[in-house]
């Protein structure tokens, strides 16, 4: 594993534990969402440029004073529990290239559907590539036949979050009241989830910022949304479990427990997974498994014999997604 990938995983684990501690009293949970789709639209009178499958996203203006704007969407309805009440939302982006100093970058809620096609720009990707079928462009929300109402994309002019972006590195947008409202609406009405437009400072030439996309080769730099929420307790009989799509599930029973509890784990496809138990200081207590697993449900037992009463976070990682579960051991 590359060094910067390890650093990226440490950042995510640290944020999950921070949200875990905040939620100890409130009973809140936190999930990590990875981008479902993303793209860059490039100012172009013919609407012929895009970067649907590229490694980078751009916002701001290049040295020729041409505007770039980035699109990104996270699938809240598929990855968060039904009925969850959103408490906080943060988006982590990695900025890897710039020719300017600090510039404000804003997240605006997109108000129309858009596409991510097969276009893949070369080099540093700042000039884009010829748009592929279904790509979003400056004029099209889905190339070549479906158009934005306004060139440059349709989005709410009131921003949901803003942050000054200067040197290369990771940036955390939020949490804000508007981001919380956005994700709550997307969870309850998935059909209106068109994601965010990343809009940079477009007044001066040379203000562009380059961020990693969901296709970036370095997985630790891909866009991440961390959502904290209160769950509605809904108990489903074993025979009526809902089979989710494109995400992972981690539940356990009983909870509180003494000294054994059983996990129900769901993964949507074959792949590498790991399930680890920590104490509240973040020290690893036990690794329940770290291996290739098949798709579907599985049961895993955790025996806490020898451990003191207390709260123990369990973290499931699969396909660069995370689930965090609070275990309460009572002796």
d(CA 305, CA 315): 19
Spatial CB neighbours of 111, under 8 Å, sequence gap ≥ 6: 154, 155, 156, 194
Q: What 3-state class would DSSP assign to 282? A: coil
What does each C-alpha distance from 312 to 5, 24, 278, 309, 327 come to in angstroms? Answer: 26, 11, 6, 9, 5
Per-residue pLDDT tens digits for 198-240: 999 998 899 999 999 999 999 889 999 999 998 754 433 343 3
Spatial CB neighbours of 189, under 8 Å, sequence gap ≥ 6: none
| Strand blocks (E) in 66-114 | 67-74, 85-98, 103-109
Average pLDDT over residues 117-124: 96
Kind and range of the H or E run holding 264: strand 260-267
d(CA 55, CA 213): 5
pTM for this one? 0.68
Structure tokens at 183: 């994700």
On the question of pLDDT at 1 being above 80, the answer is no
Question: For position 270, what pLDDT does the model report?
Answer: 87
Question: For position 14, what pLDDT does the model report?
Answer: 62
Structure tokens at 237: 């009989």
Per-residue pLDDT tens digits for 133-165: 999 999 999 999 999 999 999 999 999 999 999
Structure tokens at 299: 């049961």
Res. 125 pLDDT band, cuts 50 70 90: very high
Q: Find, among 276, 285, 289, the residue nearest to 305 by Cα.
A: 285
Question: For position 322, what pLDDT does the model report?
Answer: 76
Average pLDDT over residues 42-64: 96
């Amino acid at each position: 594993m590359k060094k910067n990938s390890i650093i990226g995983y440490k950042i995510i684990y640290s944020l999950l534990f921070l949200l875990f501690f905040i939620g100890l009293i409130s009973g809140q949970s936190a999930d990590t969402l990875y981008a479902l789709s993303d793209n860059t639209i490039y100012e172009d009178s013919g609407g012929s440029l895009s970067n649907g499958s590229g490694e980078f996203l751009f916002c701001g203006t290049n040295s020729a004073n041409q505007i770039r704007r980035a699109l990104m969407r996270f699938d809240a309805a598929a990855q968060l529990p039904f009925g969850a009440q959103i408490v906080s939302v943060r988006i982590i982006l990695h900025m890897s290239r710039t020719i300017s100093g600090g510039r404000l970058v804003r997240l605006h809620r997109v108000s129309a559907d858009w596409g991510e096609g097969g276009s893949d720009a070369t080099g540093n990707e700042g000039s884009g590539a010829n748009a592929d079928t279904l790509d979003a462009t400056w004029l099209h929300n889905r190339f070549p036949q479906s158009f934005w109402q306004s060139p440059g994309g349709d989005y709410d002019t009131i921003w949901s979050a803003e942050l000054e972006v200067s040197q290369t590195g990771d940036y955390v947008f939020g949490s804000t009241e508007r981001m919380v409202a956005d994700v709550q609406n997307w969870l309850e009405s998935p059909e209106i989830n068109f994601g965010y437009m990343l809009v940079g400072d477009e007044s001066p030439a040379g203000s562009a910022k380059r961020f990693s996309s969901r296709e970036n080769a370095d997985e630790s730099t891909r866009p991440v949304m961390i959502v904290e929420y209160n769950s509605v307790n809904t108990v489903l009989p074993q025979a009526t479990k809902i089979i989710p799509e494109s995400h992972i599930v981690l539940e356990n029973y009983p909870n509180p427990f003494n000294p054994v509890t059983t996990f129900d784990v769901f993964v949507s496809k074959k792949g590498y997974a790991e399930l680890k138990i920590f104490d509240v200081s973040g020290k690893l207590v036990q690794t329940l498994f770290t291996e290739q697993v098949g798709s579907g449900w599985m049961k895993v037992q955790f025996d806490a014999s020898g451990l003191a009463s207390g709260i123990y976070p369990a973290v499931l990682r699969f396909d660069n997604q995370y689930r965090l579960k609070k275990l309460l051991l009572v002796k």
